[in-house]
Amino acid sequence: MSLQTRPKPLVDNWNKPFWAACAEGKLRLQRCKATGKCFYPPAPVSPFTGKPDWEWVDASGKGTIWSWVVFHQGYFGGMKDELPYPVIMVELDEGPMLLTNIEGMEEEDIAIGKRVSVRFPGGPEGFTLPQFGPEA
Amino acid sequence: MPPEPSLASPAIGTPWPLRDKVAFAGIGTSRFGNFPETDSYGLGCEALNSALDDAGLTTKDIDGLIVCRIPSYERFAEMTGINPQYCLLTETAGRFSGVSMALAAQAIASGAAKNVALVYGNNGRSVRMLYGGGDSQWSPWGMTSPGASHAMMWRRHNHEFGTTHEDLGPVSVAFRHHACLNPDAVMNGRPITLEDHAAARPICDPLKLLDYCLINDGAVAWIMTSAERAKDMKRPPVLLSGYARQDCFAYGAAPPTDYWHPTLSACRSVYDRAGIGRDDIQGLGIYDNFSPTVLFSLEGLGFCKQGESGDFVKGGTLQLGQGRWPTNTSGGHLSDSYMQGWGLIAECVRQLRGDCGARQIPDAKAMQYICATNIAQSAILRRADA
């Protein structure tokens, strides 16, 4: 088992472009035109203005580990073999938080404040999941 | 940094229009445990009958009904023969116990209903409810469950303020001690030590088994009415003196990055709203889905400075007979019963009536309830004769 047996993302009309970009190895975010601030998860309007005045932009793919946990209790059949597995919360340089996993990095090297960047090693059929490792 | 939430901030110094206007006239709880032979309807009926008996009322006196975590308000009303003039179903999340209480108070104060029965029923244990899994925003990354969200916050709190897992021990130990004084508690007769807390198996690291609430079946019912009508009922009325709430949903579906400190701080207005200061309160009911929320609640409501809650609870501050702030004297969600706030508020009422036997807080005149969630809330209840 691996990224291929992960639960599939819930796709809706707003996050479809996000997943399409991931499949091309790009991390994209919606940016509010009025404030210049990015937001996630994808939505019909900017949370900063409540208006549908936003654009998709390429994100830097870089961020900082805000916190992290290690799952010892399993909840997903397709992740049974990964237990215990870490989940890291990354504060992207653009502002939004992503909950994600480490790739190319050991659990003992996870630390709050550590710089990380995105990579796209695979995912369940039809999807590519952003994962994070040492800043490239 | 996360977006700065703009808070409506309830005005400090403004008396609550509903101060002391609404009372708890009856309280009922079902058995707590594992009951596959019944369900949330059956357990809800058990709690409702117990609350009606407590209030000296029958279903014919009930003209308002709020049900929670029972699938259908209509079926519940039908089976209990209640035809109310005010009826609704509130969301399953634990934050809705306090919200339901406030809605009932508003309904009573506005004349929409006279006597409101609030019934919560939960059969999560017997249906093997798993608080995690399923499809959600973060499931592709394996992030799921409220416990993981709290673990994420707690690790950050440790980093930011120097708190440690050890700081959570006195919370779990105090509540278990209370459960051992409460014959109805699921964990009655099973005391734990700080060493047990430290040595428990990890569930979502940094949190361990004894930081997690129970999963059990059970139900709680409250009968609320006007303070005026409550005077003539069977039991001494307990008044809802004050209630404050501040929501924040600006966390991008991720764990809150502020430990709800701003919204809980806004809820400090509860003292002004109730006209009761902190010094006049004898005990607390704090929403304890996971042990860190107790510390976040104490910091947010200003019992100690932010980051100092670990030191604050050391030495039994929350433990009956030891500290100034006996908290969750029934055993709470960690050790009595996971009734999502409904049981904690029932316990506040029981304390104020002096019904608590071995776990009674001497001369309890006022109790405070706190709930640290995206809907942050606090309420103060007091004895009508206090």
Q: What is the DSSP string of B283-332?
A: EEEE--SBHHHHHHHHHHTTSS-TT-HHHHHTTTTTSTTTSS--B-TT-H
Nearest-neighbour CA in chain B from A72: distance (Å): 5
Rounded-to-10 torsion of CA B254, B259, B262, B267: 110
Q: Which residue of A has its CA nearest to B204?
A: A71
CB–CB contact B203 A97 (8 Å) = no
Q: What is the pLDDT at residue B132?
A: 84
pLDDT tens, position by position, A35-64: 999 999 999 999 999 999 999 999 999 999
Does residue A66 belong to the interface with chain B, where contact is any CB pair within 8 Å? yes
Residues on chain A touching B159 (C-beta within 8 angstroms)? 67, 112-113
Q: What is the mean pLDDT of residues A68-97?
A: 97
Q: What is the pLDDT at residue B171?
A: 98
Using the predicted structure, report yes or no on whether residue B10 has a pLDDT greater than 60. Answer: no
Q: What is the mean pLDDT of residues B151-173?
A: 98
At residue B12 the predicted structure's pLDDT band, cuts being 50, 70 and 90, is low
Using the predicted structure, report yes or no on whether residue B5 has a pLDDT greater than 70. Answer: no
Q: What architecture is domain B22-127+215-383?
A: 3-Layer(aba) Sandwich (3.40)
pLDDT tens, position by position, B332-354: 999 999 999 999 999 999 999 99
Q: Give the integer Cα–Cα distance in Å for B328 and B284.
A: 6
CB–CB contact B142 A6 (8 Å) = yes
Amino acid type, B252: G
Q: What is the pLDDT at residue B8?
A: 47
Q: What is the mean pLDDT of residues A82-109?
A: 97
Q: Look up residue A43 and give its two tokens.
A: 């939505």
B338 in catalytic set: yes
CB–CB contact A96 B252 (8 Å) = yes
CB–CB contact B140 A41 (8 Å) = no
Q: Look up residue B192 and give its two tokens.
A: 């734990």
At residue A80 the predicted structure's pLDDT band, cuts being 50, 70 and 90, is very high
> Where on the phi/psi map is residue B367: left (φ > 0), alpha (ψ -120 to 50), or beta?
beta
Using the predicted structure, report yes or no on whether residue B3 has a pLDDT greater than 70. Answer: no
Element (H, E) at A99: strand A97-100
CB–CB contact A73 B138 (8 Å) = no
Amino acid type, B10: P
DSSP state for residue B69 in the 8-state scheme = S
Q: What is the pLDDT at residue B1?
A: 41
Question: Long-range contact list for B275-279, CB < 8 A, 24+ apart?
Answer: B275/B15, B275/B19, B275/B241, B275/B242, B276/B241, B276/B242, B276/B366, B276/B380, B276/B382, B278/B302, B278/B303, B278/B368
Q: Give the integer Cα–Cα distance in Å for B353 and B347.
A: 10
Q: Look up residue A123 and give its two tokens.
A: 């995912």
Residues on chain B touching A7 (C-beta within 8 angstroms)? 135, 139-140, 142
Whole-number average pLDDT of chain B: 95
User: What's the sign of the alpha-carbon dihedral A93, A72, B373, B134?
Assistant: positive
| DSSP secondary structure, B102-134, as one string | HHHHHHHHHTS-SSEEEEEEE-TTTTT--SS-S
Rounded-to-10 torsion of CA A10, A15, A19, A20: 130
Nearest-neighbour CA in chain A from B155: distance (Å): 6
B116: which strand partners?
A: B64, B224
Using the predicted structure, report yes or no on whether residue A1 has a pLDDT greater than 70. Answer: no
Q: What is the CA radius of gyration of chain A?
A: 15
pLDDT tens, position by position, A6-22: 999 999 999 999 999 99
Residues on chain B touching A96 (C-beta within 8 angstroms)? 252
Residues on chain A touching B1 (C-beta within 8 angstroms)? 91, 95
Using the predicted structure, report yes or no on whether residue B51 has a pLDDT greater than 50. Answer: yes
At residue A136 the predicted structure's pLDDT band, cuts being 50, 70 and 90, is confident
User: Nearest-CA neighbor of B167 among B311, B323, B302, B326?
Assistant: B311
Using the predicted structure, report yes or no on whether residue A73 has a pLDDT greater than 50. Answer: yes
Q: Which residue of B has its CA nearest to A6?
A: B140
Q: Look up residue B259 and give its two tokens.
A: 């430990």
Q: What is the mean pLDDT of residues B295-321?
A: 97
Using the predicted structure, report yes or no on whether residue A116 has a pLDDT greater than 80. Answer: yes
User: What's the sign of the alpha-carbon dihedral B38, B41, B47, B51?
Assistant: negative
Instruction: Provide, rounded to the nearest whole percent, the portion of chain B with pLDDT above 90.
Output: 91
Using the predicted structure, report yes or no on whether residue B2 has a pLDDT greater than 50. Answer: no
Q: What is the mean pLDDT of residues B101-128?
A: 95
CB–CB contact A101 B142 (8 Å) = yes
Q: Is the ipTM of this complex over 0.85?
A: yes
Instruction: Spell out the residues 6+ positions from residue B184 whose beta carbon is closer than 8 angstroms to its own.
Output: B29, B31, B32, B330, B336, B337
Among B128, B136, B139, pick the best mutation site for testing chain A contact (most A Cβ within 10 A). B139
At residue B13 the predicted structure's pLDDT band, cuts being 50, 70 and 90, is low
Burial of A13 (0-12, 13-18, 19+ CB in 10 A): exposed
CB–CB contact A7 B148 (8 Å) = no
Does residue B7 belong to the interface with chain A, where contact is any CB pair within 8 Å? no
Q: What is the pLDDT at residue A2?
A: 86
Does residue A128 belong to the interface with chain B, where contact is any CB pair within 8 Å? no
Instruction: Spell out the residues 6+ positions from residue B241 whose beta carbon is closer than 8 angstroms to its own.
Output: B16, B19, B20, B273, B274, B275, B276, B366, B380, B381, B382
Residue carrying structure tokens 């071995």? B358
CB–CB contact B203 A76 (8 Å) = no
Q: Look up residue B332 and give its two tokens.
A: 């709470």
CB A23 within 8 A of CB A53: no
Residues on chain B touching A48 (C-beta within 8 angstroms)? 3
B259 in catalytic set: no
Q: Give the integer Cα–Cα distance in Å for B376 and B268.
A: 11
User: What's the sign of the alpha-carbon dihedral A110, A113, A115, A119?
Assistant: positive
pLDDT tens, position by position, B222-271: 999 999 999 999 999 999 999 999 999 999 889 999 999 999 999 999 99
User: Nearest-CA neighbor of B52 among B39, B67, B66, B62?
Assistant: B62
Q: Look up residue B226 and give its two tokens.
A: 């006007």
Query: How many other C-beta atoms lie within 10 A of the C-beta of residue B206?
Result: 21
Q: What is the mean pLDDT of residues B141-151?
A: 96
